[in-house]
Amino acid sequence: MRIGIIGAGFIGRAVATLLLAAGHEVLLSNSRGPESMSGVLIDIPGSQVGTIEDASKFGEVVLVAIPFRRYLSLSAEWLDGKIVLDANNYYPDRDGQIGVLDRLEKTTSRLIADHLRGSKVVKLFNAILAEDLTRDSRPKGAPDRRALPVAADDSTAKQLVISLLDEIGFDAVDAGKLDESWRFERAKPAYCIPLNKRDLIVALALADRVAELPDGSWRRGA
């Protein structure tokens, strides 16, 4: 499968490494252009780099891992008909205050889906630290295999992504539709905490729409 990645930061690079190891084609991009990503080609053998337009058009699936405040810069035209993996999180200190999120009226993924109306948005990879992606990947059936939550409105897109997740070393828990993805947004019990499938189901059920965990408590050793 061809996968485009918009955002060549730590999450984008870690996911690219896992996808390439599983036999997929990957093209990474960032806002500064391919000339700024010579290090990517060295650090991630087999990867390709290009513009954001290149990544959008290259991928059958496109991962978006950018600062959330920039989501309106995504081209709905380029991503029309694509499965878009939304790995973004809302951090008000970084992104500025966004009223509909502060008032708990929408989820981050719903805002992205509203913007990319022709895309099939799947919430994934926002609830794991970048360094844990390669560290926690395990073969199918491993007793210590980590699970990640997945949310989407389109059931076919969701199942394809769950299969892809299995290929790169993780179990999946179906967390419902995009409007339920708040259950694994920032500072919820399932956010960036290493959990197996059973414990992740419990953590998602325990999530409270208003209550938040202390900032940074999800980091290992915190």
Domain boundaries, the chain: 2-206
Average pLDDT over residues 52-73: 97
- Using CB atoms within 10 Å of the CB of residue 115, give its burial: 0 to 12 exposed, 13 to 18 middle, 19+ buried: middle
CA distance 96 to 73: 16
Is the pLDDT at 175 greater than 70, yes or no?
Answer: yes
Residue 216 binned pLDDT confidence (cut-offs 50, 70, 90): confident
Q: What is the CATH number of domain 2-206?
A: 3.40.50.720
Average pLDDT of the residues of the chain: 96
Question: What backbone phi and psi angles, to 5 degrees, belong to 52?
Answer: -60, -35
pLDDT reading at 182 higher than 80: yes
Whether 87 has a pLDDT exceeding 60, the answer reads yes
State percent of the chain over pLDDT 90: 95
Global pTM? Answer: 0.95
